Amino acid sequence: MEAPKVARRRSTFLAPVWLALFAFAALAIASVTFWTRATTTTIVLVRHAEKQLGTIEDPPLTPEGDERAQRLAGLFGDRSPIGTVQAVYATHTRRAQATVAPLAARLGLTVITADEAPSELARRVRREQHGGVALIVGHSNTVPQVVAALTSRQDVPAMGDDEFGAIYVVSVPDVGRASVLRLHY
Question: Does residue 94 form part of some domain?
Answer: yes
With cut-offs at 50, 70 and 90, classify the pLDDT of residue 66: very high
Bridge partners for 181 per DSSP:
169
pLDDT class for 70, splitting at 50, 70, 90?
Answer: very high
| pLDDT tens by residue, 75-94 | 999 888 888 999 999 999 99
Q: How many domains does the chain have?
A: 1
Q: Is residue 161 in a domain?
A: yes
Q: What is the dihedral of CA 112, 138, 44, 136, to 10 degrees?
A: 0
Q: Which domain holds residue 121?
A: 39-184
In a domain? residue 28: no
Tell me, what CATH number does 179's domain have?
3.40.50.1240
Q: Is residue 22 part of a domain?
A: no
User: How many Cβ atoms from other residues are within 10 Å of residue 125's Cβ?
Assistant: 26
Average pLDDT over residues 116-125: 97
CA proximity to 99, closest of 59, 66, 142: 66
Decide if 149 is inside a domain.
yes
> Which residues partner with 51 through β-bridges?
61
Q: Is residue 61 part of a domain?
A: yes
Q: Is residue 132 part of a domain?
A: yes
Say what the pTM is: 0.81
Q: Is residue 17 part of a domain?
A: no
